[in-house]
Structure 1
Amino acid sequence: MSDATIDPTAPTVGVGPHPLPWPEDDRLDPDLLRDGDRRNVVDRYRYWRLEAIVEDLDTTRSRLHVAIQNWEHDFNIGSMVRTANAFNVAAVHIVGRRRWNRRGAMVTDRYLHVHHHEDEASLLGYLAERGIAAVGVDNLEGSVALEDNALPADCCLIFGSEGPGLTDAMVAGCERLVAITQKGSTRSMNAGAAAAIAMYHWSLQHADPRPALPDR
């Protein structure tokens, strides 16, 4: 891109090089201190090494897990992962194809613990071993209204691919099914939007008393 095509009024993301002398802190990345930090991170983590950020996030992760069935390389998966990062979930589980559409994640998956499971049985076994309730999110027969449901604190919200939704095998393994009440004409809403609503609903019921990460 030439300088002529850059909008001089556009906001600058992040911060530039850190002035000398640099702080003495093992969490800081010398390259970022020298060149500036343009990543999409809260101000608390400016100039921090990726590994240091993950280690710090691990001290405040929620008990919520999120699982996504990846059968169609759904572009919504990246959006779901980005939302999972916003809620600092315990882990994200990709079920099915190992490769998934990362574009919408905006590299936020690097700050999460992402696990791959070949099939439904693998995920459900993982959850059962750890006492984590499997809760399917889909507007299927037998689903109860999400807004009227008390979700378990140790819970994995499971989402299907856009369109087909949850597989029969996944539905059979879920402790319960919840659905977001809709009042419009379409049968279902965007999978990424549904995931955001469900994660927010869990967070309202199991709010962390600790303050949110400070930022501007």
Structure 2
Amino acid sequence: MVQFEQVRHRPPTPLAAPRELVVACAPMRSNVNLSTIMRTAGCCGVERMIVCGHARIDKTIARDGADSVRLEVRNSLAPVLRTLREDGYRIVGLEQTTNAVRLADYPFPRRTALVIGNERAGLSEAELALCDDCVEIPVWGLPYSYNVATATAMALYEYCRQHPS
């Protein structure tokens, strides 16, 4: 019988180039959710996160992500989305909308700005109007949507699965 050595916390796989993925967040009610999103972004090799409102990061939750992700705080999301579009990003909202594409079926462009809405209100009509596409994660039970940090983790994982390097 062959035995395999198990190594805990293997070092991260280095990326050949920085990810062309930006996470842009509407004002969040919970700093725990925002900190969890930042930690996940760090795990996915995201280097830039734009957050709106009175954002505070709990570094205990964010851990290493707090050091590897550049956090930019802005007043509102709409001007951020316009600037990202001008910079060549595809603006992709993570939101349940009539014309949203299932996350598993959406081919993420390499240069993507993933837009995350508020925990309760989601993305506003004005913010949705600035999105090129919306992706949603199917739900089979109640409540009708996943926690914002959980949904963001799923979307970031799917982007990374499609663009592993």
Q: Which range, TM-score by smaller chain?
A: 0.7 to 0.9
Partner residue in 1 for 2:46: 89
1:80-119 → structure 2 map (5 Å cutoff)? 80-95=37-52, 97-103=53-59, 104-106=61-63, 108-119=65-76
- Match status 1:154 vs 2:126: no
1:159-174 → structure 2 map (5 Å cutoff)? 159-174=116-131
Contact map agreement 2:102 2:138 (CA 8 A) in 1: yes
Q: How many residues align?
A: 155
Contact map agreement 1:74 1:162 (CA 8 A) in 2: no
**Larger-gyration structure (1/2):** 1
Higher relative contact order (CA 8 A, sep 6+): 2
SS of match in other structure, 2:91:
strand
Contact map agreement 2:49 2:70 (CA 8 A) in 1: yes
Paired residue type of 2:22 = H
Q: Larger deviation: 58-67 or 86-95?
A: 58-67
Q: CA RMSD in A?
A: 2.2
Contact map agreement 1:70 1:100 (CA 8 A) in 2: no
SS of match in other structure, 1:75:
helix
Contact map agreement 1:160 1:166 (CA 8 A) in 2: yes
Partner residue in 1 for 2:24: 67
Where in structure 1 are there 5+ consecutive unaligned residues?
1-40, 45-56, 209-216
Partner residue in 1 for 2:148: 191
Question: What is the Cα deviation at residue 122 of structure 1?
Answer: 1.9
Partner residue in 2 for 1:207: 164
Paired residue type of 1:99 = A
